[in-house]
Amino acid sequence: MRDLYQEQLTGLADALADMCGQAALAMEHATRALLDADLQLAEQVIADDVRIDDLRVAAEEKAFGLLALQAPVATDLRVVISAIHGAGDIERMGDLALHVAQAARRRHPQSVLPDEVVPYFTEMGKIATALARKAGDVIRSRDVETAATLEADDDAMDDLHRHLFSVLMGPNWSHGVGPAVDITLLGRFYERYADHAVTVSRRVVYVVTGRMPGPLTV
C-alpha cells in the first residue's frame, strides 16, 4: 500500500510537470504566431488550450483523492496542497499564452508588432518558454537550487518589460495609441506568465523545506 501511495504522489508531480510542458509549448507557438502573423498557429494554440484545462482537472482530482483516501501528513501533505495550487498557476500560464495567440488572430493579416519591438518579444518568448520547462524539471527533481535560478530568469523578463515601456513612451514612437495598448497588454501577459512559473518553483521549495520563500537566491 505504501508503494502505491508513493506512486500516486509521483504521478501527481508528473501530471504537474506535464502541464508545464504543455504551457511551454503553448507559449512557444503563441509567440511564433505573434512574430510571424501566423493565423493557423494562433488557432492551434487557442484550440489546444482545453488540454491544459483538462490536465488541471485531472491533477486536482488526483490531489483531492489523495487527501480523502490517504490523509497525508508532513511533506506528503505539502506535496498535495502545493499541487492543487500549482495546477491553478500552470493553467493560468496556459491562459496567458492563449491571450497572446488571440491577439495575433485579432490583428491578422496585419502584424501586431512594429519592427522596433520584435526583438523584445522574441526574447520574452524564449525566456517564458524556458521558465515553464524549468519549472517542470523542478517539480520532478525537487531541486531547490534549480528552483532559485528561476528568479534570475524572471528578473530578465522584468528588465525586458521595463525596457519595452521606454520604447512605447519614447519620442520616436510613431505608431499611435492602438498598437501601444496592444503591446502593453502583450508585455503584461509575458510578465505574468513568468511570475506564475516562479510561483510554481516556490511551491516546490515549500514542499522540500516547509517554508514558502520570498525572492529566491541560489
Q: Which of the listed CATH numbers 3.90.950.20, 3.40.50.1170, 1.10.3720.10, 1.20.58.220 matches domain 2-209?
A: 1.20.58.220
pLDDT of residue 214: 67
**3-state SS record for the chain:** CHHHHHHHHHHHHHHHHHHHHHHHHHHHHHHHHHHHCCHHHHHHHHHHHHHHHHHHHHHHHHHHHHHHHHCCCHHHHHHHHHHHHHHHHHHHHHHHHHHHHHHHHHHCCCCCCCHHHHHHHHHHHHHHHHHHHHHHHHHHHCCHHHHHHHHHHHHHHHHHHHHHHHHHCCCCCCCCHHHHHHHHHHHHHHHHHHHHHHHHHHHHHHHHHCCCCCCCCC
- Enter the C-alpha cell of residue 87: 495546477
Average pLDDT, the chain: 93
CA–CA distance, 78 with 54 (Å, rounded to integer): 23
Please answer whether residues 144 and 205 qualify as being in contact, where contact means their C-beta atoms are separated by less than 8 angstroms: yes
**Residue of 211, 214, 160 whose CA lies nearest to 31:** 160
Q: How confident is the model at residue 73 (pLDDT cuts 50, 70, 90)?
A: confident
- Enter the C-alpha cell of residue 93: 500560464
pLDDT of residue 217: 41
112-129 pLDDT per residue, tens: 999 999 999 999 999 999
pLDDT of residue 80: 95
Could you state, in order of their start, the residue ranges of all structural domains in the chain? Answer: 2-209
Is the predicted pLDDT of residue 218 greater than 50, yes or no?
no
144-155 pLDDT per residue, tens: 999 999 999 999
Terminal-to-terminal C-alpha distance of the chain: 37
CA–CA distance, 218 with 211 (Å, rounded to integer): 16
8-64 pLDDT per residue, tens: 999 999 999 999 999 999 999 999 999 999 999 999 999 999 999 999 999 999 999
pLDDT of residue 11: 94
136-180 pLDDT per residue, tens: 999 999 999 999 999 999 999 999 999 999 999 999 999 999 999
